[in-house]
Structure 1
Amino acid sequence: MTDTTGMTETTGAARTTVRDCVLRLCRDTGMTTVFGNPGSTELRMFRDWPDDFSYVLGLQESLAVAMAAGHAVGTDRAALVSLHSAAGTGHALGAVFNAYHDRVPLVIVAGQQSRALIQLRPFLGADEPAQFPRPYVKFSRQPDRASDVPAVLAEAHRIAMTHPRGPVFVSVPEDDWDRPAEPVAPRTVHGAFTADPEALAALAARLESCARPALIVGPGVDDEHALPEVRVLAERMRAAVWISPLSGRSGFPESHPLFQGFLPPVADQLAARLEAYDVVVALGAPLFTYHVHTEGRLFPATTELFHLDCDPAQAAWLPTGTSIITTLKPALAQLAAQVGESDRKPPPLHPTPAEAAGDNLTPELVFDLLRNRLPRDRVLVEETPSHRDALHARVPIEVTGGFLTTGSGALGWGLPLAVGRALADRRRLVCVVGDGSALYSVQALWTAAQHRAPVTYILLDNSGYAAVRALGRRIGIAPVPGTSIEGIDFGALAGSFGCPASYVADPRDLSAAVDQALALGDDAGPHLLHIRLTGTGTDTALYGSGP
């Protein structure tokens, strides 16, 4: 049995085990909610499972990782994930890929067969566990000795929480948990670091002298809670503000008069958007994120690019511009202090699309309702690739942390991400998800129902992978085989997982259905609103046809 100090009683003297030391470390670092899907090689980790820990079960390993990511974003702490050995880790890798690109701090602990069996290539063993999740983790290791497990986990946690934050991976043989070990203290992480003052002073001088500046806000701004500093700098300079291509976060109030919109993930279109500016400063942004190839320039020849980010690897591969390695909050505060109030003419106002109308139920009708009815402080999670541009155009995000999606594109992220994010603070959020995306991770509705996660799911059903069809049309491929999904009763599917659902296919019924779904309280648990689209909206022109 386990006593209140976390020590395990044995015949004879009491001793601390690896499990005792790891549980203590988890308490000290705030990782007492574990997301996982249990397997045989993790069982000894759960012996005498303490009452102050909670286990959130995902019915597939990628769901566990995505839910943990939502929880980490909501708590601003690393979240703990428990995976099975080779097979379970393999199932989870699509979500690990997302977490890595979205800089979400996760501590992933994977089971492994007993040390005595490893040389015999055992059933469900991982041959090279530390190599398996690379390159999409910041740190990956199987400790050489059982007694090293607590220290390796403490190191892993520190690396996960150091900017640029991200997932880490530790493989633990199953017999290590009962071995003796010494407790370790968490490594203190002070994550902020600032660039050379001379580099920032030179950038400030260039911003003072330029005629037409622009800021590009990347996901790093939201991740580092630097929105207030960006706003101050933008207003002092009267700079145009864009959001980087396919950003997994927002990072600037989208109704602000300086906001210009979202940059497209297409090289010639992106270059055309930015050629009006003489100086562009990208902030925590993977600026050159493209989805489709086009010939021509990557960046306007007459525009000078600066790039501020905490990731030296990101800076190293950028094809052009001057990079300054820094965390954003302190750097932006210094820049704002050195840049005077500008009398430049402000950029033109970003146009607001007209209210949608018509006899068909289109995504634009849904998004207009969300714009008018969704409280501005409510978190919006999105995974509807074919309608993302329309959502951005019609539903402005105003607050830090107000928007979450995948910044890397691996589907199945949004639905479970919303569960973990809702469990972080127990405040109702809205998740807009496509039918194709939902089917990658629909089992997460079961977890949402079990934990009464306050999530309103708005499922846009266009009967297939419409984004793939649109890209096919763009490059002259139509029809695209394998892109049709027909005949799925999402309400019945949700109900089978314990999640209440409603359905609407008539635009005359849409307003009442959305109002009812949004009005649910924080204690009401999840609800899925299945909307059968009868009009394609803007999915026929993904990314537009030009600048």
Structure 2
Amino acid sequence: MGYRPALALLDILRGEGVDRIFGNPGTTELPFLAALSETDGAPEYVLGVHEGAVVSMADGYARATGRPAFVSLHIAAGLANGLIGLLNARRSRTPLVVMAGQQDRRHLQQDPMLSGDLIGLATPAVKATYDVQHAHDLPLALRRAFAQAVRPPAGPVFLSVPVDLLAEDTEVEVPARTPVPPQGPAVGLERAALLLGGATRPAIVAGDGVGRENALDALVRVAETVGATVHHQPMADFLDFPTTHPLYAGALPPRHDVIRATLDAYDVVLIAGAHAFTPHPYSPGPALPSALTVVHLDPDPDEIGRNFPADAGLVGALGPSLHRLAELLRERVPAHTAKGRILRAGERHTAERDRTESAARAAYSEAPLAPWAAAHAVARGLPPDAAVVEEAITVGLLVRRLVRLDRPGSYTHTVGGGLGWGIGAAVGRALAEPDRPVVAVLGDGSALFGLQSLWSAARQQTPVLFVVMNNGAYRTVQDTYEAMGGKGVCPGTELGQLDFVRAADFFGVEAVRARSADHVCELVAGVGELSGPRLVDVRLREQSPSGH
């Protein structure tokens, strides 16, 4: 059956499960917008007033739904504004299909206003690009884009589509969607079971692939079967292992020297779905001890052997592979051995958590708050079914140490490093899961980069609690400066006293200033009662959050 190009585009979107379009429109998108307005059952258009907000909302939505989100940007400038979000999505492996309208081809050689090299701009930030020049190529390119967006490693795919192409009075054929069978268990699991089952001090590094593929239960089975201590990968973007579990030992820091020292306590490690231990900042030497036996499992074959050698490299879907590995390990590890390891690890980890909790509780006060107290108040107030979207950088590290979460999808972050993601991602998350409480924990610098997303929160009336940790500085830069031996105040890092209550009011978002740590806890605990967005301005003391 033939369709005009813009209608063919909509037909494919519906077939791919797209129910919302995240965009900021311009003249080069008018044929697409016209088709949306004229089509019954078309996806809802979710407006963002800045492309950074648009892409971050789509990122949060795609993570929550588990399917690619569709983004519509406007020409070169709109694409450029969205590049930070696309870099984050590529790093975090979020599946997005992104379309930007290009200027009319009939005068493109004359360098018209707003035109630009869209493919050149997008290429470093996405998995693949399509420069669509013929109407009959659009449906095929779209089908490919959706398939590529989810294929390991998942990520954003970009299409440049000229405005006159979408407006053509011609019919194009829409190819049927081809279902792709899911990836199966890895080959070589018997050798992995032999190595891991023979360990005397086994460990697991839980990578973000576990959270993305909803394989937490499978990884818990493996950990309990062998009695392995579990660490989150450095700068994890997902909840990849329950932080309530007795085997959980916290996250590895993103420094090779500290990772190496931590993993030196083990003889065999299973690295499941972790992206290459990306370091920040630099430290000399490899991430893994030379004597450590490594079993590396990932759905992406390019990860195996990429940054460190593996004694057993396995490629396959994480859930099926881990469930099969647990079965094989049950035959090799006596139940009493695993149970003993779990008990000893639980005693050790409980004592460590109690010390951390005590230090944080001792810092409770009226505002301004110590960072430890603010982080603890958030963690203590979280409802059991809450989803945390975190972009708090320094205070976020403390939140990670304190949260007690075990439900898949209950913690998200972006390792991409482009600030401004958090507010929009939380809005997208709430749109995808309207019945789940969403708490966004934000640094003040991060919030400033993404402040325009509050407009969409108010427009959509998403019941998100935005908790802004307001320390008046780029604290992570200051801390790193001090660690490197810098003297005095690091230039360019002081933001001054910011009033986020007034900023939220401008966008139509209810806001309150936290009076104390207990007040923060109370506000977080009440997130489930929200009928629209609310912002909490948490004033912090002028001290590094590394101190209590």
Q: Same-fold call, TM > 0.5?
A: yes
Q: 2:362 is matched by which residue type in structure 1? A: A
- Does 2:74 match 1:84? yes
Measured against aligned partners, the alpha-carbon deviations of 1:312-349 in whole angstroms (never above 9, x if no partner) come to: 23335223224322221111111111112431541533
- On the 8 A contact 1:382/1:414 being kept in 2, the answer is yes
1:533 aligned residue: 540
28, 32, 35: which one pairs with 2:22?
35
361, 374, 397: which one pairs with 2:382?
374
1:163 aligned residue: 152
How far has the Cα of 1:512 moved from its partner?
3.1
Structure (1/2) with the larger helix percentage: 2
2:506 aligned residue: 496
1:103 aligned residue: 93
- On the 8 A contact 2:470/2:498 being kept in 1, the answer is no
390, 414, 417: which one pairs with 1:409?
417
In structure 1, list runs of 5 or more residues that go unmatched. Answer: 1-6, 8-14, 542-547
CA distance change for structure 1 residues 388 and 188 in 2, over 3 Å: closer, same or farther? same
- Does 2:112 match 1:122? yes
**Whole-angstrom CA distance in 1 between matches of 2:77 and 2:379:** 42
How far has the Cα of 1:523 moved from its partner?
5.6
1:25 aligned residue: 12
2:176 aligned residue: 185
Measured against aligned partners, the alpha-carbon deviations of 1:488-507 in whole angstroms (never above 9, x if no partner) come to: 22111101101000002x43
- On the 8 A contact 1:244/1:287 being kept in 2, the answer is no
1:305 aligned residue: 294
CA distance change for structure 1 residues 236 and 445 in 2, over 3 Å: closer, same or farther? same
- On the 8 A contact 1:495/1:501 being kept in 2, the answer is yes
2:458 aligned residue: 449
- Does 2:197 match 1:208? yes
1:10 aligned residue: none
Measured against aligned partners, the alpha-carbon deviations of 1:117-175 in whole angstroms (never above 9, x if no partner) come to: 22222221123x33322233222111231121111101110111223221111110001
Measured against aligned partners, the alpha-carbon deviations of 1:34-92 in whole angstroms (never above 9, x if no partner) come to: 10111221111111423532111111112111100111111111110001121111111
Return the TM-score normalized by structure 2.
Answer: 0.91
**Whole-angstrom CA distance in 2 between matches of 1:117 and 1:211:** 70
1:477 aligned residue: 486
**Whole-angstrom CA distance in 1 between matches of 2:181 and 2:116:** 34
Return the TM-score normalized by structure 1.
Answer: 0.92
The 5 Å alignment of 1:266-305 reads: 266-305=255-294
50, 63, 81: which one pairs with 1:73?
63
How far has the Cα of 1:513 moved from its partner?
4.7
CA distance change for structure 1 residues 302 and 517 in 2, over 3 Å: closer, same or farther? closer
- On the 8 A contact 2:381/2:524 being kept in 1, the answer is no
2:84 aligned residue: 94
Q: 2:361 is matched by which residue type in structure 1? A: A
**Whole-angstrom CA distance in 2 between matches of 1:145 and 1:21:** 13
1:238 aligned residue: 227
* SS of match in other structure, 1:133: helix
- On the 8 A contact 1:364/1:537 being kept in 2, the answer is no
Q: 1:46 is matched by which residue type in structure 2? A: L
- On the 8 A contact 2:377/2:520 being kept in 1, the answer is no
- On the 8 A contact 1:131/1:140 being kept in 2, the answer is no
The 5 Å alignment of 1:329-478 reads: 329-340=319-330, 341-342=333-334, 343-344=337-338, 345-346=340-341, 348=345, 349-350=348-349, 351-352=352-353, 353=356, 354=358, 355-358=360-363, 359=365, 361-426=369-434, 427-478=436-487
**Whole-angstrom CA distance in 2 between matches of 1:190 and 1:460:** 44
**Whole-angstrom CA distance in 2 between matches of 1:292 and 1:518:** 35
How far has the Cα of 1:289 moved from its partner?
1.6
1:11 aligned residue: none
* SS of match in other structure, 2:203: strand
**Whole-angstrom CA distance in 1 between matches of 2:416 and 2:459:** 29
**Whole-angstrom CA distance in 1 between matches of 2:440 and 2:496:** 22
* SS of match in other structure, 2:389: strand
How far has the Cα of 1:383 moved from its partner?
0.7
- Does 2:103 match 1:113? yes
- On the 8 A contact 2:375/2:395 being kept in 1, the answer is no
CA distance change for structure 1 residues 102 and 326 in 2, over 3 Å: closer, same or farther? same
* SS of match in other structure, 1:119: helix
Q: 1:527 is matched by which residue type in structure 2? A: R
**Whole-angstrom CA distance in 1 between matches of 2:20 and 2:467:** 27
1:46 aligned residue: 33
**Whole-angstrom CA distance in 2 between matches of 1:234 and 1:487:** 46
200, 207, 211: which one pairs with 1:218?
207
The 5 Å alignment of 1:138-153 reads: 138-153=127-142
Q: 1:23 is matched by which residue type in structure 2? A: L
* SS of match in other structure, 1:317: coil
How far has the Cα of 1:396 moved from its partner?
2.3
- On the 8 A contact 2:371/2:541 being kept in 1, the answer is no
* SS of match in other structure, 1:201: helix
Aligned length: 522
How far has the Cα of 1:533 moved from its partner?
0.9
- On the 8 A contact 1:361/1:535 being kept in 2, the answer is no
Measured against aligned partners, the alpha-carbon deviations of 1:485-531 in whole angstroms (never above 9, x if no partner) come to: 11322111101101000002x43xx4235414541446611000001
How far has the Cα of 1:386 moved from its partner?
1.3
How far has the Cα of 1:244 moved from its partner?
0.4
**Whole-angstrom CA distance in 2 between matches of 1:540 and 1:365:** 11
Measured against aligned partners, the alpha-carbon deviations of 1:268-300 in whole angstroms (never above 9, x if no partner) come to: 111000001111111110242211122234321
Q: 2:387 is matched by which residue type in structure 1? A: V
304, 310, 317: which one pairs with 1:315?
304
**Whole-angstrom CA distance in 1 between matches of 2:245 and 2:520:** 30
CA distance change for structure 1 residues 135 and 513 in 2, over 3 Å: closer, same or farther? closer
- On the 8 A contact 1:160/1:167 being kept in 2, the answer is yes
**Whole-angstrom CA distance in 2 between matches of 1:310 and 1:272:** 27
